[in-house]
Amino acid sequence: MPHHRTLDEIKLDRSWLSIGVFDGVHLGHQSLLRRLVEGAHAEGLPAVVVTFFPHPVVVLHDLQDPVYLSMPDERAELLTEAGVDEVVTLEFDRHLASRTAAEFMGMMKEHLGVVHLCAGYDFALGRGREGNLSVLRQLGNQMGFTIEVIQPVSGLKNEVISSSHIRDLLSQGEVHTAGDLLGRHYTIDGIVSHGDGRGHGLGFPTANISIPEQRLAPGRGVYATWIWLRNERFPAVTNIGLRPTFENQPVLPRIEAHILDLPDDPDLYGQPVRLEFVEFLRPELRFPHIQSLIDQINKDIQRSREVFDHDR
C-alpha cells in the first residue's frame, strides 16, 4: 500500500489529484474517488490523494479531544481499496495552515505533477480557505492543471453525506444508518487487552478491546457485531459502556465483545481484532441481580443471531 507521510517521499511527472481529509471514506468520497481513478487510469496516469492528520479544524480552532472515523493507516487502506494509487498523509500544523493556495498548489505541482484536480463542490484550501474553486481555476491556468467539480451525494433523507453527520449517527448508536452512508459496516481496529474476567465468571467470556484514543466508538449500548480474529470472522455481541450493574463509581467506557462460535477458548490477549458494527440491540441497562443480566445476555445472543442470519 503506497502510503507516504511527506511529499519528499514521492516524485511524479503527471497525475490526477484529489485533496481532503476523507475521514471514513464514505459514499460521497467514493463518488469522487471513482471519477478520480477512472479518469486518471484512462489517461495512463496515477490517481493520487493528499489527506491530512490531524483534521485541520483541530489545529485551526484548537479543538480538544477530537474523534475520527478512520485513523491515517486505516484511511490509506480504504483509499487504496477504492483504487487510489498513491496516498500522501500530511501533518496539518500551523506552518502548513499558513501557506497560501498558490504555495500549496505549487507543492502539488512540484512533487506530484498534478494535471487535473478533482474537487468537491465546496472545496477550498490555503490560508483562510482563500483558494476557492474560482481562485484554483486561475492557479490552474497559470500552473497547468484543470479542475473538475464533483457534485455531492445525498442519503436516504436527501441530506448531503458528510463525515460529521456519520459521526453524529454513531455517537447516537445508529450504526445501521451510519453503515448505509459509509457503504459498509462501521469498523474499528483494536487490540485485545486484559479485563477483570467478570464475563467469564458469568459464563459469557468477553474480549476487552482497546482502541486508539482518538478513534470514535459508537454510543453506549449493546450491538450485534462481526469480529475478525486471525483472519477469521466470528459473530459477537459487543457492549460499549460503563457496566452499571457492577460499577458504582464513574469509569471510562469499555468495549467488550462476547465472541460466539469460537472453536475453543484461546488466549486472545494482545491479538489484533477488527469489529464490524451491524446493528444496535439495546441500550445499556442496570439489572437488579445477576440472573436478570444472564437472562438478558441470552436474549441478546438470540437476537444477534437473527441479525447475522440476514447479514452474511
Domains of the chain, each with CATH number or no CATH: 3-150 (3.40.50.620), 163-309 (2.40.30.30)
Read off the pLDDT of residues 241-297 as tens digits, 9 standing for 90 and up: 865 444 454 445 789 999 999 877 667 889 999 999 999 999 988 877 788 888 888
Cβ atoms of residues 311 and 276 within 8 Å: no
DSSP 8-state code for residue 68: B
Element (H, E) at 256: strand 254-259
Q: pLDDT at position 206, please?
A: 87
Please, what is the end-to-end C-alpha distance for the chain in angstroms?
A: 28
Q: Where do runs of H (alpha helix) occur along 1-90?
A: 27-42, 56-60, 72-81
Query: Can you tell me whether residue 149 is helix, strand or coil?
Result: strand
Higher pLDDT: 250 or 67? It is: 67
Higher pLDDT: 206 or 176? It is: 176
User: Is residue 11 scored above 50 in pLDDT?
Assistant: yes
- Band (pLDDT 50/70/90 cuts) for residue 194 is confident
pTM over 0.85? The answer is yes
Across 36-50, 111-125, 134-148, 258-272, least confident range: 258-272
How confident is the model over 191-205, as a mean pLDDT?
Answer: 67
pLDDT, the chain, mean: 91
- Band (pLDDT 50/70/90 cuts) for residue 198 is low
How confident is the model over 91-116, as a mean pLDDT?
Answer: 97
Cβ atoms of residues 296 and 243 within 8 Å: no
Q: pLDDT at position 157, please?
A: 75
User: Is residue 201 scored above 60 in pLDDT?
Assistant: no
How confident is the model over 106-127, as a mean pLDDT?
Answer: 96
> Which region holds residue 112: left if phi is over 0, alpha if psi is between -120 and 50, else beta?
alpha
- Band (pLDDT 50/70/90 cuts) for residue 37 is very high
